[in-house]
Amino acid sequence: MATDRTQLTHLEREKASVFHSWSAQATINPLMVKGAKGVYVTDEDDKSYLDFSSQLVNTNIGHQHPKVVQAIQDQAALLCTIAPQHGYESRFRAAELILDHAFDGAAKVFFTNGGTESVEHAVRMARLHTGRHKILAAYRSYHGATATSINLTGDPRRWPSDNGSSGVVHFFGPFLYRSAYNATNELEEGQRVLENLERTIQFEGPASIAAIILETIPGTAGIMPPPAGFLQGVREICDRYGIVYIADEVMSGFGRTGSWFAFQHYGVKPDLVTFAKGVNSGYLPLGGVILNEALSASFNDRVYPGGLTYSGHPLACASAVATIEAMQSEGVIENARRIGDEVLRPGLMALAEKHRIIGEVRGLGVFFAIDLVIDRATKEPLAPYGSSSPAMNEIVAGARADGLLLFANYNRIHVVPPCIITDEEARIGLERLDRALELGDKYYVGN
């Protein structure tokens, strides 16, 4: 006998029919959203929430930007879909704009449906280009959830799916606050990571390594900007051993750090760049790989063995064109940089003075994390690695009750609002975060 769903609440129907990602299905309690605009999300009870999470750190241009919405509507009236072997204006215009903001020598864009597919294809391209198989990736990283990308990932979400046969070798990247190298300053940390990376290459066999993939600034794993000179060192090692350097900019790209791409802060040129999320603020599924001239030329006279039915989908590409053009004309990148320098960084440092559970503040642009601890001396985290805790749950729930949506991961809260946020909105968010952190202060046990 069929269930009369009309007798159920929307939340009950959601939980009964939708299988949610990264969740134990019996314990989920999703916020039932009715609408969103700018930096605010509205639930079905008409309560408004300041979105300090940008959802999954992707609504860089905010919710329901009228120019992007209009572009999708206009494209839908003209051409909703077409097979990717054909050419069409929205796709080449999106590619041109992406290349214009990438790096000198960026040649072509291969479009995917999202970040994990971008990583899958970047790795495939590197392997075919070099004729090698192994890929080096960092612990404390996230590269996606499909077969290769989940094995590249360096956080606990990899463990249940790690089959140990994908040719991935992990190493500890730079993270001075929890240094794996007993470093005492950023210079030492960067140098020791590079020394270990080169030693790993030598012991794994340089001729077996196709690529090194790094999030320029690791996102989900903790927003850890690399030490000065580190990425230049990676570039030099890759050049010396003929290894492809893949910059994963899925989360950090398109304004998030106050630059078009995060690698531009560090003066390096990758060989391949993976992107998604902010390219069109997630209005439609879209990702891709930027190829330099050498990688692109590898497939001039041989077939690239990969493709997707929706590669460069017209509606998605139209939304990317509108997003990038709006970012250019409305100073969105500059706003993200200024908000980070003038509001978020000083505001978060002030919170660290007040709340001893904040062990460290780190980030740039609208891409910050606060590392929460129960003891600053020991740096013991407020939640164990790979899990949550009652303290973290209480802070996040308190923020939500106060109308603030947070991105939390293990013992960290990521302060990642849309790039369009105003000074006043950012300060309101920090005030609400302040009140949420007060709920966690009682868990601090240090001096």
Residue 406: give its domain's CATH number: 3.90.1150.10
Q: What number is the average pLDDT over the span 27-54?
A: 96
Question: What local confidence, expressed as pLDDT, does residue 165 receive?
Answer: 64
Q: What is the mean pLDDT of the chain?
A: 96
Domain-located, residue 11: no
Task: Return the C-alpha torsion angle 249, 213, 104, 420, nearest 10.
Answer: 10
What span, in angstroms and rounded, lies between the C-alpha atoms of 392 and 398? 10
Question: What local confidence, expressed as pLDDT, does residue 22 receive?
Answer: 86
Domain-located, residue 304: yes
Q: Is the separation of the CB atoms in 138 and 214 below 8 Å? A: yes
Q: 154 and 77 share a domain?
A: yes
Domain-located, residue 175: yes
Q: What number is the average pLDDT over the span 127-150?
A: 94
What span, in angstroms and rounded, lies between the C-alpha atoms of 172 and 193? 7
Question: What local confidence, expressed as pLDDT, does residue 406 receive?
Answer: 98
Is a pLDDT exceeding 60 seen at residue 292?
yes
Q: What number is the average pLDDT over the span 81-104?
A: 98
Out of 302, 330, 358, pick the residue that ends a domain: 330
Q: What number is the average pLDDT over the span 280-300?
A: 98
Question: What local confidence, expressed as pLDDT, does residue 121 receive?
Answer: 98
Question: What local confidence, expressed as pLDDT, does residue 120 receive?
Answer: 97
Which residues, 6 or more positions from 328, have their beta carbon under 8 angstroms from its beta carbon? Answer: none
Out of 282, 314, 330, pick the residue that ends a domain: 330
Q: What is the CA radius of gyration of the chain?
A: 22
Q: 87 and 194 share a domain?
A: yes
- What is the number of domains present in the chain? 2
Domain-located, residue 39: yes
Is a pLDDT exceeding 90 seen at residue 447?
no
Encoding tokens for residue 254?
């398109």
Q: 376 and 323 share a domain?
A: no
For residue 366, the enclosing domain spans 31-64+331-443
Is a pLDDT exceeding 90 seen at residue 164?
no
Question: What local confidence, expressed as pLDDT, does residue 1 receive?
Answer: 52
Higher pLDDT, 24 or 68: 68
Question: What local confidence, expressed as pLDDT, does residue 2 receive?
Answer: 65
Q: Is the separation of the CB atoms in 343 and 334 below 8 Å? A: no
Is a pLDDT exceeding 80 seen at residue 243?
yes
Band of pLDDT at residue 385, cut at 50, 70 and 90: very high
What span, in angstroms and rounded, lies between the C-alpha atoms of 193 and 189? 6
